[in-house]
Structure 1
Amino acid sequence: MQISKKLPYITFPEGSEEHTYLHAQRQKLHGYLPSRQPNFTEKLELPSLQDFGALLEEQSKEISTTIAFVRALNVMLKNKSIKDRLVPIIADEARTFGMEGLFRQIGIYSPNGQQYTPQDREQVAYYKEDEKGQILQEGINELGAGCSWLAAATSYSTNNLPMIPFYIYYSMFGFQRIGDLCWAAGDQQARGFLIGGTSGRTTLNGEGLQHEDGHSHIQSLTIPNCISYDPAYAYEVAVIMP
């Protein structure tokens, strides 16, 4: 097989249908070369610490920091400036985290809407899928959830559209399963929250030691620009979130 060394590039006359179409697509992508910007230009009104007042006070009964996070997320969903920018991402166990109330409140994203009757349809917090849903329910797919989180966490730079993703997972199945993606997130200066739910030597053993995570922070601390917290009280979660 011989290929001519003089094989020319394909060109289209300026003003032709093909030429116009190709250049129009590049303009939709904001130029001819990929680009990133260090900061977004839009100004968002973030909630103040006082908005989380209920979590700053002494709790009437004992709650987990996971529940404190869910309550803080509900506070943020009431903020008109950022509520549409929040991206809750779940790979599994939404009900274990106490997040089923969000199913009806903001819905689970599905490009085709609800295509079936969910088994729990008679419940108040039933499994509601919607074309305009906000929750990304990825199934037991930590890598897929991690990719969704990374796309949303870098949107401020690639699209000048700041999003605030929260990927919550069983703590033992976070950095241990998607460590490479977390490192890539550091490289790309991603901005978002990775939440290790039911973390530590918790009473929720599940299937034994595989749920008793006590070392995630050792892994997260290897990523220089990953800021890690290990809150023990609800008020600490409230301070971290804003």
Structure 2
Amino acid sequence: MAQQPRFLDEDPQETREWLESIESVLNSEGRPRAHYLIDQLLDFDVAQHGDFYGRVTTPYVNTIPGDRQQPYPGDLQVEKRINAFIRWNALARYCVPASIPVVGGHIASYASAAVLYDVGFDHFFRGRTEQFAGDLVYIQGHSSPGIYGRAYLEGRLSEEQLDNFRRETDRDGISSYPHPRLMPDFWQFPTVSMGLGPITAAYQARFMRYLENRGLKEHQGRKVWAFLGDGEMDQP
């Protein structure tokens, strides 16, 4: 959200008169009429001057004001350009196989969450090392083309593999969704279908706490990240 400008009350008496007017409408005609008048004022201001910087929405409960945020750790311009390449690679996965019968996909899934994935990969997700077991990331299944697009930029997948998206059975292709059995060196968890990602992510986090609380295994500050969407929260 854009940081809202703060103003000092330079005319408290005028402010009280406005508030008393609204209070009078509330008492005499009720909230619907008062809200209508307020909406008319906002619409008039926007029509006259453009954007309105007001408290028309409540603050997010998990967000802090812009002036309290730490400087972004990366290069926004570079990351924006990389993100554009990955989005294009993801889109191309559907354009190439689209000419082949019965090969389709979810073209908007990755595009709608691309920035979330990129910021996670660039600044949050921690890989496995000899001393650290690594974070656990549950990728939303329909977003797999974007993950493949990033892996191609990193040199972990070839162009031939990308062209064989959803055709891994009889050639060197890649699976349509996160599938550790078909791609054991690439995917960490299966997340499709029937709400598999949400439920396994929740129980994975709970089981890690279970092991630690009973002194069986320390989780080392590992985090479970889950990307959920495309209606899977309503699936059984």
Task: Select the structure that is richer in helix.
Answer: 2
Establish whether TM, by shorter chain, passes 0.5: no
Query: Which TM-score tier does this pair reach, normalised by the shorter chain?
Result: 0.3 to 0.5
More contact order relative to length (CA 8 Å, sep ≥ 6): 1
Q: Greater share of strand residues, 1 or 2?
A: 1
TM-score for both structures, normalised by structure 2: 0.35
TM-score, structure 1 normalization: 0.34
Larger Rg: 2
